[in-house]
Amino acid sequence: MSSSATALQGYSRLDDEELEARIRAARQELGERLVILGHHYQREEVFRHADYTGDSLKLSRQAAQTSAEYIVFCGVHFMAEVADIMSAPDQISILPDLNAGCSMADMADLERVEDVWQELSEVLDPDEQVTPVTYINSAADLKAFCGRHGGIVCTSTNAPHVLEWAFRQRDKVLFFPDQHLGRNTGYGMGIPLEQMVVWDFRKPLGGLSEQQIRDAKMILWNGFCSVHQMFRPEHIDSYKERHPDTLVISHPECRFEVCQKSDYVGSTEYILNTVSSGEPGSRWLVGTELNMVSRLQQQLKPRGITVQFMSPMVCMCSTMFRIDPQHLLWTLEGLVRGEVVNRIAVPEEDADQARVALQRMFDLAV
């Protein structure tokens, strides 16, 4: 058993009250040397300790504007990578549990994407005809790939503006890793479904014919979020049969059919702000991660706003859930002793090229 696993065993025996007290004590001792970031999908017993809360890019930008020596990201791996890329050289990005990954991000890796680029070259000239666009929910080396190949990064908020930019550069877009965000955004921009094809990286030429590739405006990676994939149109139909006046709001990582049945579609911040601005007595069916929906339920109940999780099954971000109070305390008390654990450091070459793709997005000023 590793020394870290042995150390964590001791933390696992602490009760909630002691965990809470020791986290607060460590935070106080570290003072301004520390900033804790909490993603909206994080569990409440960790989320409450965050100095900043929000979605991944917003948090990284906020942390980079601080003078904190240590950035502890209570999120997942790609988020801590973005924090490292965007922060100053003397700031250290830390992920309390290295097992907190992202199944969607893992569906597209650099080797596969480079293979696709090579396969596309059998049909057309990708560097002349295809703009690669990666969702912020992706590994740093894929952001770097986009930087090298004239591409760009997008978020669920700015995806339409990013795609407009991408199509001004070249005729086609290769969009990864989430097919649903790509499809929902493209359709909202007027691109017909038949001009958005899915590339299955397990098949030669992605399972597509050469003609399909030539005719496509968007080539969508066959990836998805395991949480948002679980929401289905029948969940909406069933709930609205009982509560016809319900307003439906979904994240664009949801299936196309779910978004088409929704009254509102947008990012985590958009969902949070829209539902929080609801009228007293309104009822909302929400298609995004459970921890965020549960938090909204508790916050808005006193105002008479009903918030219902869309799926009848429990579906939370299991990798995000790995960040627990035990790992947070272990990380913080290590820093108090001068020991940095689980540092996330992106290789400088990848970081430089990823910044190019990110800067293209920032230059759009949307």
Domain ends where: 192, 207, 226?
Answer: 226
Q: What is the pLDDT of residues 166-221, one digit of tens each?
A: 999 999 999 999 999 999 999 999 999 999 999 999 999 999 999 999 999 999 99
Determine what percent of the chain is predicted with pLDDT higher than 90: 83
The CATH code of the domain that includes 29 is: 3.40.50.10800
List the beta strands (DSSP E) in the chain.
Answer: 34-39, 52-54, 70-74, 92-94, 130-135, 152-154, 172-176, 196-199, 218-221, 247-250, 264-265, 283-287, 306-309
Does residue 85 sit in the same domain as residue 49? yes
Does residue 76 sit in the same domain as residue 22? yes
Classify residue 143: in a domain, yes or no: yes
Does residue 285 sit in the same domain as residue 301? yes
Domain ends where: 164, 198, 226?
Answer: 226
Determine which helix (DSSP H) or strand (DSSP E) holds 57, and give its type and residue range: helix 56-64
Classify residue 13: in a domain, yes or no: yes
Q: Grade residue 105 by pLDDT with cuts at 50, 70 and 90.
A: confident
3-class SS of residue 297? helix
Closest CA to 265 of 288, 244, 291: 288
Closest CA to 317 of 62, 46, 82: 46
Q: Grade residue 310 by pLDDT with cuts at 50, 70 and 90.
A: very high
Classify residue 355: in a domain, yes or no: no
Q: What is the pLDDT of residues 350-365, one digit of tens each?
A: 999 999 999 999 999 7
Does residue 56 sit in the same domain as residue 125? no
Task: List the domain range (segments joined by +) for residue 153.
Answer: 105-226
Classify residue 366: in a domain, yes or no: no
Report the distance separating Cα 280 and Cα 302, nearest Å.
9
Classify residue 358: in a domain, yes or no: no
Classify residue 180: in a domain, yes or no: yes
Residue 315: per-residue pLDDT:
60
Does residue 273 sit in the same domain as residue 330? no
Q: Which residues pair with 94 in a beta bridge?
A: 72, 343
Classify residue 163: in a domain, yes or no: yes
The number of CA neighbours under 13 Å toward the Cβ of 182 is 31
Average pLDDT of 113-137? Answer: 96
Q: Grade residue 41 by pLDDT with cuts at 50, 70 and 90.
A: confident
Does residue 109 sit in the same domain as residue 211? yes
| Helix, strand, coil distribution of the chain in percent, nearest 5 | 50, 15, 35
3-class SS of residue 200? coil
pLDDT score of 14 more than 90: no
The CATH code of the domain that includes 125 is: 3.40.50
What the block records as the tokens of 334 is 């290590």
Please, what is the end-to-end C-alpha distance for the chain in angstroms? 48
pLDDT score of 366 more than 60: no
Amino acid letter at 131? T
Does residue 255 sit in the same domain as residue 167? no
Classify residue 185: in a domain, yes or no: yes
Amino acid letter at 270? Y
Report the distance separating Cα 366 and Cα 355, nearest Å.
17
Does residue 135 sit in the same domain as residue 205? yes
Report the distance separating Cα 47 and Cα 49, nearest Å.
5
Does residue 73 sit in the same domain as residue 155? no
Contact 193, 187 (CB under 8 A): yes
The number of CA neighbours under 13 Å toward the Cβ of 121 is 7
What the block records as the tokens of 266 is 């947008």
Residue 5: per-residue pLDDT:
59
Does residue 29 sit in the same domain as residue 118? no
Contact 89, 55 (CB under 8 A): no
pLDDT score of 321 more than 90: no
Does residue 220 sit in the same domain as residue 293? no
Does residue 120 sit in the same domain as residue 214? yes
Task: Tally the domains of the chain.
Answer: 3
Average pLDDT of 64-69? Answer: 95
Domain ends where: 309, 329, 359?
Answer: 309
Q: Grade residue 125 by pLDDT with cuts at 50, 70 and 90.
A: very high
